[in-house]
Structure 1
Amino acid sequence: MITIKRTTSGNPDFDSLRIPLDAYLAHLDGEDHAFYAQFNKSSLLKNALVCYVDNKPVGIGAYKEFDADTAEMKRMYTNPEYRGKGIAKAILTELENWAREEGYKVSLLETGHKQIDAIGLYQKMGYQVTENFGQYVGIDNSVCMRKNLK
Structure 2
Amino acid sequence: MRIQRVPITHPDAQLLVEAVQEEYVARYGGRDESPITPSDFDDPQGQFFVGYVDGVPVTTGAWRRSTVVALGVDVTAEIKRMYVVPAQQRRGIARRMLAHLESTAAAAGVEGLVLETGLEQPEAIALYTSSGYEPVPGFGYYCGSDLSRTFGCRLHPVVE
Is the TM value for this pair above 0.5?
yes
Change in CA separation of 1:138 and 1:61 when aligned onto 2, cut-off 3 Å: same
TM-score, normalising length: structure 2: 0.85
State the one-letter code of the partner of 1:69: V
- The aligned counterpart of 1:63 is 63
State the one-letter code of the partner of 2:129: Q
- Greater displacement, 66-75 / 113-122: 66-75
Tell me how many residue pairs correspond in the alignment: 145
- Greater displacement, 111-120 / 133-142: 133-142
Q: Deviations over 1:69-124 (max 9, x none)?
A: 00100001000000011111111111111110110101000000010000000011
- The aligned counterpart of 2:54 is 54
**Aligned-pair identity (%):** 33
Structure 1, gaps ≥5 residues long: none
> What does residue range 56-135 of structure 1 map to in structure 2 within 5 Å?
56-67=56-67, 69-135=75-141
- Maintained 8 Å contact 2:77/2:113: yes
What SS is found at the alignment partner of 1:135?
Answer: coil
Change in CA separation of 1:50 and 1:144 when aligned onto 2, cut-off 3 Å: same
For residue 26 of structure 1, report the CA deviation from its aligned partner. Answer: 1.4
Q: Deviations over 1:9-31 (max 9, x none)?
A: 1221111111111010112112x
Greater strand fraction, Structure 1 or Structure 2: 1
Q: Deviations over 1:22-78 (max 9, x none)?
A: 010112112xx35xx331536343311100001110000111111360010000100
What SS is found at the alignment partner of 1:134?
Answer: coil
What SS is found at the alignment partner of 2:4?
Answer: strand
Would you identify which runs of 4 or more consecutive aligned residues in structure 1 move more than 4 Å?
none
